[in-house]
Structure 1
Amino acid sequence: MSNITKSELDLVINRIGSVSMEDSFSMSTFRCTNRTQYEPLRISHNWTINDFRSLITFNDQQMCLKSSTFVSEVAPKINWRMFMFPRGGNLGGTRNGFIFMKVTSTSQYKKLTFKAKHKYIIKSHRFGTNDWNSDMFINTNSLHPDNPIIYCSIFCIPLSRIDNYLYGDGSLDICCEMEIIPDDKGIFCKEEVVKPPMDDVSHYINHASQLKKMYESSDEADCQIICNGTVLNVHKFMLIAYSPVFNAMFEHKETKESKENIIKIVDENLQTLETMIDYIYSGTIPELLNDDEIIDLLQLADKYDIQPLYHLCQDRLIFHLTEMNVCEMLQVSEAYKAQSLMDACIRLVARNLNHILESREWLEMEKTHSQLLLYVMKQITKRGS
């Protein structure tokens, strides 16, 4: 293509001006509208579990199955992977299976923010039986290099229904249909550099490890916690740093705890107390705690005002939240003023309103916790308006 000369360009510009002046309509009233529409990118991942019929005959509640990892071309640094507890895992009894999603960032230096919606489909291979669809899960997530993994989107599968969806050889087909949704600028995954220097991260890990060793060896312990006849040797500075309640005990010199350096705790579960103390030194809690153990730990965190642990317990309970335990979790959230857990319960009830309102647990709560249910329904109405 030949280049246009300046004289030719001037001629074109003048011609446009001449036409504009000669047109019968006023250019000031002429308007153009432009719009760019960004469409979600759709992906689908199929997972076939061979001989699933035999797997569910094993009474191994902790058995966990994993799909292969899948990615989207518009967000290649985000890995998706389906997990399944065929016999309930820590999420429920052995009569139900659970599918959930693990989302992982592979970025070492950037926070990734994205919005996605997806659902699980259990394929039917029997005439007259429709595919089994989960709710649509819609999440906006941020994955940080220091916290690159989230677990989400739990789908409960009553095993009493599963036989209708198995192949003749007993295998099971699960499909995840997903859309990555762009923002108003067409960006599917926003990337922000946030990674701290590696020496800071390794220093923190080493620091926490040394504190844990100090607790386990009782080196330089200057305080005792006595619970049900068991003595735990601890360090006052650690208790004071994490708990305003413990701080108040030692701040006033006339208190018995301050004078004797002994804290007597009664009517508490020793194992739960040990888990709380272990958290104070390590910043972590065991992965395999069940709901009752987490609730007990939440109660202790609330009692001693250990806010990081208080919020961590809520996060664990939210991850375990299902239609079957949502009524219990509503009562827990009310008892301990656990607002994050309460909000998650309300969202789950709103998504499954008809089914939950007919459940035995909800009907019982209408008699025992009517004011709580009234609050829940008001919040659902307010958020839906």
Structure 2
Amino acid sequence: MGNHAGVQRLPETTTTPSRGITESVTASHEFKVTNYRALDGVLGVGKSVKSATFSVGGYDWEIRFFPDGDRRESASYASIYLACLSPAAKLDVSTKFTLTVLTQRAGKVASMDDTRCTFSPTSVTWGWTKFVEKSKLKSPDHDDAYLITIRCDLTVPKEPSTECKGVLIEVPPSELPGHLERALKDKKGTDVTLLVGGREFTAHRFMLASRSPVLDAQLFGPTLKKEDARRVEFVDMEPAIFQMLLHFIYTDSLPPPTCDDSQVGGYGTAEMQHLLVAADRYGLHRLKLICEEKLCRGIKVENVMSTMALADRHCCHRLKDACVAFMSQPDVMGAVVRDDGFKHLIGRCPMLGLEESHESKYSEPQI
């Protein structure tokens, strides 16, 4: 074995004792020479064909194949080398590699196993000038498409890293949501009063506008009068739902559940339905998805019709699919079709495809 740039001989095996644990990465690359017969005796001594570049361990490599040998004294042999293409500044890397030659008919004809070499700025290639006799590579029937495969199994150690195992510092989670929630409760710096169902809430206009495009237009619109931006009335919303909406705007999370008779993860189904409507109205997409997810987990016979209608009105496709899947259960459909809202819902959502089969299957007998 040798280094192609000024032949450098190494012992077949080099053993280096070590007490540490070195992590390494191993990968394989196959270089397929599809026209060997056209190359044999034609390319000439010292001429090579090269594989595509492949990366292992953070370094770039290629296989160099000399069909007629890399020098005159090895003209009856094929020479094979592994070359490192990474910049010289990155070199000086110890490796272990195996090169194997396989032919289309005979299979494996030559192999150099588990060779250990160090690639450096002055030794960027390693391999064998007499890797395999050319006679072993020839096609017995002179097939022009005779295939030779050169396989390289390469192991490269990862660059060592230094870990601090003394004092481990645990970084706490973000405190920002808690600080913003406190700012809402303390009412410091609030500059807008929100009227909801007879109750007054105070908040910060910049926070409302930054979280909701609808509130941004409502509070900072070009035609808005200054006095109108100080007091804003919200209609068609319960104060309790607005309070949950406001909590989410400041903290990006729902407030703790207060429903003892938990239906939807500690929240009431009607509560989540109303909050979803509010989230959709004010462009709070994440809150809408949170409500949709909780409603999906709380579908029951008694609420599936109202939930399905809600999903249809507000384009909640996943919630609608969950309702359809729930209603499609044989033990559920019988109760659902008797609901007063079933025919109305079918009229709005003919895509359900349940109206004919299930209405006839579960209809009351005619007397």
Q: Given the two structures, how large is their TM-score scaled by the length of structure 2? A: 0.45
Computing the radius of gyration over CA atoms, which structure comes out larger, 1 or 2? 2
Q: Given the two structures, how large is their TM-score scaled by the length of structure 1? A: 0.43
Q: Which has the higher helix share?
A: 1
